Structure 1
Amino acid sequence: MYQAHRPSRSEFVPIRNLRYHVRVWGTSAPARPPLVLLHGWMDVAASWQFVVDALVEERHVIAPDWRGFGLTEGGAVDNYWMPDYLADLDWLLDHFAGDTPVDLVGHSMGGNIAMQYGGVRPQRVRRLVNLEGFGMPPLQPAEAPGRYGKWIDQLKRLHRGEMALASYTGPEGVARRLMKTNPRLSKDKANWLAGHWSVPRPQAEGGERWEILGDPAHKIINANLFRVDEALALYAAIAAPVLAVVASEDSLGHWWKGRYTLADFQERLESVRDVRLERVEDAGHMLHHDQPGRVAALIEAFLDASRAGRPA
Structure 2
Amino acid sequence: MHVRGLPQHLLIWGDLARISAEEPLLVMVHGWMDVAASFQFMVDELRQQPGWADRPIAALDWRGFGRTPAPLGTDAYFFPDYLGDLDAVVHALSPDHPIDLLGHSMGGNVVTMYAGVRPHKIRRLVNLEGFGMPATTSDEAPDRYTRWLDELRTPMQLKSYDSLEGVAGRLQANNPRIRTEHAMWLAQHWAREEGGRWVINADPAHKRVNPLLYRVEEVTALWARITCPVLFIEGLQTQYFALFNGRYTRDEFLVRAEAIAKLRIESLDDAGHMLHHDQPEALAGLLADHLALPSDVSVAPPQSPGA
Partner of 2:14: 26
Contact map agreement 2:262 2:298 (CA 8 A) in 1: no
5 Å matches for 1:252-291?
A: 252-291=240-279
Say if 2:8 is the partner of 1:17.
no
Partner of 2:184: 191
In structure 1, which of residues 168, 175, 180 is the aligned counterpart of residue 173 of structure 2?
Answer: 180
In structure 2, which of residues 38, 41, 52 is the aligned counterpart of residue 50 of structure 1?
Answer: 41
Residue 237 of structure 1, CA deviation: 0.8
Say if 2:56 is the partner of 1:60.
yes
Distance 1:250 1:258 in 2: 15
In structure 2, which of residues 197, 203, 212 is the aligned counterpart of residue 215 of structure 1?
Answer: 203
Residue 311 of structure 1, CA deviation: 5.1
CA 311–225 in structure 1, closer or farther in 2 if over 3 Å, else same: closer
In structure 2, which of residues 213, 221, 233 is the aligned counterpart of residue 225 of structure 1?
Answer: 213
Q: Which amino acid aligns with 2:151?
A: Q
Residue 222 of structure 1, CA deviation: 1.1
Q: Which amino acid aligns with 2:44?
A: D
Distance 2:232 2:202 in 1: 27
Secondary structure (helix, strand or coil) at the match of 2:199 reads strand
Q: Which amino acid aligns with 1:35?
A: L
Residue 266 of structure 1, CA deviation: 1.1
Provide Cα deviations, 1:54-110, integer angstroms capped at 9, x if missing partner: 011222000000000000001120010000010101110121111211000100011
Residue 249 of structure 1, CA deviation: 1.5
Partner of 2:130: 133
Contact map agreement 1:305 1:311 (CA 8 A) in 2: no
Say if 2:149 is the partner of 1:152.
yes
Unmatched 5+ residue regions in structure 2? 300-307
TM-score scaled by structure 2? 0.92
Partner of 2:93: 96
Say if 2:66 is the partner of 1:70.
yes
4+ residue runs over 3 A deviation: 309-312
Partner of 1:40: 31
Residue 279 of structure 1, CA deviation: 0.5
Secondary structure (helix, strand or coil) at the match of 1:297 reads helix
Distance 2:203 2:241 in 1: 27
Distance 1:234 1:249 in 2: 28
Distance 2:106 2:5 in 1: 22
Distance 2:298 2:184 in 1: 40
Distance 1:27 1:41 in 2: 28
Say if 2:69 is the partner of 1:81.
no
Secondary structure (helix, strand or coil) at the match of 2:178 reads coil
Partner of 2:116: 119
Secondary structure (helix, strand or coil) at the match of 1:244 reads strand
Residue 310 of structure 1, CA deviation: 5.5
Q: Which amino acid aligns with 1:32?
A: E
Distance 2:218 2:285 in 1: 32
Contact map agreement 1:69 1:214 (CA 8 A) in 2: yes
Partner of 1:205: none
Distance 2:153 2:102 in 1: 35
Give the alignment's Cα RMSD to 1 decimal.
Answer: 1.1
Distance 1:249 1:48 in 2: 20
Matched length: 290
Distance 2:241 2:229 in 1: 27
Kindly, what percent of the aligned residue pairs are identical? 48
Q: Which amino acid aligns with 1:52?
A: V
